[in-house]
Amino acid sequence: MSGAVVLERPVVLVDEPVSFIVRGCEPGEIVSISATWDIGDETVRTEGRFVTPADGVVDPAHHESIAGTYVGVEPHGLWWSIDRQHPFEELDVLAPWTVLIAATGREWESSTQLTRVKLDPTVRQVPLHAGRLRGVAFLPDVVGPIPSVVVLSGSGGGLGGLGGVRSIAALLASHGFAALALAYFRYEDLPSELVEIPLEYFAEGIAWLKRQTSISGDRVAVVGTSRGGELALLLGSVYPDDIAAVVAKVPSAIVWGAIGTQPRPHASAWTLDGRPVAPLSGEGLDRHDLPLRDGAIVLTPSFEARLAAASADDLAQATIPVERSGGPILLLSGEDDAMWPSVALAEIAVERAAAQGAVQPIRHLRYRDAGHNFTTAAGFPVARASVHPLSGEYYSYGGSLLGNAHASVSSWGEILEFLQNSLSTA
């Protein structure tokens, strides 16, 4: 018998699980299935090995891999099992990936090509360069009101690289959302540092998105990661009439200070009505007192020390009033977050909402063995460390390859369902 790779579809979205089978194999034979593609200038290869069942069909999305770059039943295993510490450099982050799928049995080989796309070809890209607003919108080709989302970066600013806010917005649009990747610093002529960014800027971005298309319910959702998660919670509390739902990924319910190329201990990251939004005061641990993981700085203990040293009054003043949110809140955190204690920082929001009698529901999903960087969409590789573009320091994100992969797949599904449900009734 001779096996053959059979594609369900030749083109799939990057967040979809494996969607092909190998038919005609000898029952009981070991079949190796590999996926090879280029990310930027680098070639990556993943592999699973399977024992052919009695019907002669190997289905890598539903069958157990016994060896290779991953083991177990992993529907996305061929996509995530790239064991890599650093982010990939890919200049054209929305370019499709052409993947060579190869299957090898006892005395046969079969191969074909599969295209994984990050943007549905029917989605229209609209560069945003209106007044002081910068970014890019992705608008699906649909008729009628569209659920709409503003996507915000973290402390790295810009629109992010592979798997960053541009990628997230493009993929959301491919799932039927109008999505605006809104830059707010470190992009074109915007400020170069995360210092005193006016919250009114984001209100302008929301208003701009509303003018581009018919918005479901006339309100949008905001999705932010890390400092962008802090920002998303803050915006939800300030603009409840404009924001229908908040997704805060590895966020903080505490407002922290500015970030620049040099320390700014007393500066604010945000302003409202021309006045600084007061951050939590106090110093963290000295750089030389922080632990390392695989040569990268684990920053979480510094935030934990600042939280422990803060008075109850200081914490109360810096806590975001999430109870003012005009819609539901979804929080996502990693229990092995090496950048900051996102589980504890998200729980502050949950506790605050309960104590203040919040009307809108708030849900916190915490992922075991996941770090700070699992919050990209399913199907993208997850780096576990990188050099911060402002501080220049080499930081660990935490989490394991498997823990981050499982959290990425699970959380992305939760986000899509949450946004669809929240915006359909907005």
pLDDT digits (tens, 9 = 90+) for 354-412: 999 999 999 999 999 999 999 999 999 999 999 999 999 999 999 999 999 999 999 99
- What token pair was written down for 162? 């592979």
Alpha-carbon distances, residue 160 vs 181, 186, 201 (angstroms): 10, 10, 19
Q: What are phi and psi of 70, to 5 degrees?
A: -155, 160
- Residue 87's pLDDT is 94
- What token pair was written down for 144? 């009628």
Q: Give the DSSP H/E element, type plus range, for residue 414.
A: helix 401-424
151 pLDDT above the threshold of 80? yes
- Residue 220's pLDDT is 97
216 pLDDT above the threshold of 80? no
Give the model's confidence band at 233: pLDDT under 50 very low, under 70 low, under 90 confident, else very high.
Answer: very high
Q: Within 10 A of 344 (CB to CB), how many other CB atoms are there?
A: 17
The SS3 assignment for 194 reads strand
Does residue 324 come out as left (phi exceeding 0), alpha (psi in the -120 to 50 range) or beta? alpha
Per-residue burial over 95-120, b if 16 or more Cβ lie within 10 Å, else e, is: eebebebbbbbeebebeeebebbbbb
Of 159-163, 189-193, 237-241, the range with the lowest mean pLDDT is 159-163
Average predicted confidence (pLDDT) for the chain: 96
Q: Which pTM value belongs to this model?
A: 0.97
3-state helix, strand and coil shares in percent for the chain, rounded to the nearest 5: 25, 30, 45
Give the model's confidence band at 282: pLDDT under 50 very low, under 70 low, under 90 confident, else very high.
Answer: confident
Q: For helices 199-212 and 227-238, what crossing angle results, to 10°?
A: 80
Residues 6+ away with beta carbon under 8 Å from 9: 19
- Residue 122's pLDDT is 96
425 pLDDT above the threshold of 70? no
Give the max Cα distance, the chain. Answer: 74
283 pLDDT above the threshold of 90? no
Give the model's confidence band at 426: pLDDT under 50 very low, under 70 low, under 90 confident, else very high.
Answer: low
- Residue 144's pLDDT is 82
- What are the tens digits of pLDDT across the range 129-149? 999 999 999 999 988 889 999
